[in-house]
Amino acid sequence: MRVKPEDREFTSVATLDPGPDKVIGPGHDYGSVTDEIGGVVFRPFLKTPRQMFIGFAFAFLLVNLLMIAVTWLFVRGVGVWGIDMPVAWGFAIVNFVWWIGIGHAGTLISAILLLLKQDWRTSINRFSEAMTLFAVACAGMFPILHLGRPWLAYWLLPYPNTMWMWPQPRSPLIWDVFAVSTYATVSLLFWFTGLIPDFATMRDKAGNPTARKIFGTLAMGWRNSAKHWARYQKAYLLLAGLSTPLVVSVHSVVSFDFAVAIVPGWHTTIFPPYFVAGAIYSGFAMVLTLAIPVRRWYHLEDLITMRHIECMSKVMLGTGLIVAYGYAMEAFMAWYSGGQFERYAFVNRMWAGGYWWTYWVLILCNILIPQALWSRRVRMSIPAVFVIALVVNVGMWLERFVIVVTSLTRDYVPSSWGMYYPTIWDWSTYLGTIGVFLALMFLFIRVLPAISIFEMREVVHHTGKEPTHVHGD
């Protein structure tokens, strides 16, 4: 049974998962959701779940690995990576696309599902918006590190300069600069705007004067006035409406980096939709990877319920099928077009090239294993969903590897074919960004409300029409 909401912040009593039909556990009222979510932040430092400390320590170790890898990169240049001609785009671009893709689920959950009025979006949207933000931060690092002279990254921006040079606005690489920086800014705005009313809640709830000052500053004097809410809701809805085409455009533009080039295996019109679907696929896998442990550590099973997990599994299954269709069409068009080079690119990808096995592992991870999600028993099993989500994360990373690396190893001129072998610095940089991502997620969950409190009150208002206990004082 549930304990009194006031006690929750200090207890770790198992909470009740209401099962796959409900988005919120029984017995919640406005106060209890506020306390449960706020309690995570106001827990005394030493009462933080042990797993959070271990997780953060592990992530922080990886952050240090990144520091070392990047320092070495700055000292010696991109030659420390395994990249060379013909494979000049190695891990850096694979990781860039992977991270950006992961971010997309956050925007999908916060914007598109808001417009579609999906009630299960509410307790995971804040969390996945933060995921978007941190994933984009990791993604943004890679093209800059890959520049060779990263300290000149600002040359990518159109600004008046003494060289009288301008970036080329017809190039997908410059579209990328605009798309990714817009995406990062809008994701930040969306996330911060969502947090303002919750900052006000935290301000009013904080016992510690320093916390009250910090949250008070961030809340900027928000006072829950109906006039504020009216403008707020309009602004929020407009942000959602603008983010929806934005998220589609960002991964389309990322896919143009490949599709506009003439490399066989890249030059494909199916890339934009198939990249967008793949992005959402990997992003939902990452939300599940993060949400499953966190809901357990902080006993949030009554707010992130089986319904959330099942819905996310279904989205994963659906987008996974779109991705499978993309693979099939790529292969079909390679054969049907009759293009010699395109056809060879596929023979190379599937069995003739040195990376043939990555293609089959990718098919296994992205297409075959996730089919288990058709079974309701699998969707209802937390360990199974968690493992499948991890498998999809790996599979989507391999997809980008296959696209970027395999296509480059053998293009038109056999005399300039060559293999790419990642070095320890490639791996360190990649693992390092995973560390940055996880460390930021751990910090976020610890210091900010990881579930949107005011939106959960709306859920209480809409679902809890039956009288819950109104505790007078």
Least distance in Å: CB of 215 to another protein? Answer: 10
Indicate whether 262 belongs to the interface with another protein (CB under 8 A): no
Choose between 88 and 218: whose C-beta lies nearer to another protein: 218
Least distance in Å: CB of 182 to another protein? Answer: 4
Indicate whether 273 belongs to the interface with another protein (CB under 8 A): no
Binder among 28, 205, 379, 410 for another protein (CB under 8 A):
205
Q: How many other CB atoms sit within 10 Å of the CB of residue 384?
A: 16
Please give the full DSSP string across 96-146, using - where no structure is assigned.
Answer: HHHHHHHHHHHHIIIIIHHHTT-GGGHHHHHHHHHHHHHHHHHHHHHHHHT
Q: What is the C-alpha separation between 436 and 416, in angstroms, rounded?
A: 37
Restricted to residues 448-467, the positions that interact with another protein (CB under 8 A) are: 454-455, 457-458, 461
- Among the listed ranges 11-19, 58-66, 182-190, 326-334, the one in contact with another protein (CB under 8 A) is 182-190
Least distance in Å: CB of 28 to another protein? Answer: 11
Q: What is the DSSP letter of 451?
A: S
Contact 3, 287 (CB under 8 A): no
Choose between 243 and 406: whose C-beta lies nearer to another protein: 243
Q: How many residues line the site for another protein (CB under 8 A)? A: 61
Among 142, 109, 366, residue whose Cα is nearest residue 247: 109
Least distance in Å: CB of 40 to another protein? Answer: 16
Indicate whether 115 belongs to the interface with another protein (CB under 8 A): no
Restricted to residues 7-66, the positions that interact with another protein (CB under 8 A) are: 29-31, 34
Secondary structure of 285-313 in HEC code, one letter for each residue: HHHHHHHHHHHHHCCCCCCCCHHHHHHHH
Choose between 77 and 169: whose C-beta lies nearer to another protein: 169
Indicate whether 75 belongs to the interface with another protein (CB under 8 A): no
Indicate whether 174 belongs to the interface with another protein (CB under 8 A): yes
Helix (H, G, I), strand (E, B) or coil at 208: coil
Q: What is the C-alpha separation between 142 and 425, in angstroms, rounded?
A: 13
Least distance in Å: CB of 77 to another protein? Answer: 28
Q: State whether the Cα torsion 294-297-299-301 is positive or negative.
A: positive
Q: What is the C-alpha separation between 194 and 326, in angstroms, rounded?
A: 35
Summarize as ranges the residues that interact with another protein (CB under 8 A). Answer: 29-31, 34, 158, 164-170, 172, 174-175, 178-179, 182, 185-186, 189-190, 192-193, 197, 200-201, 203-205, 220-235, 238-239, 242-243, 245-246, 249, 253, 256, 454-455, 457-458, 461, 470
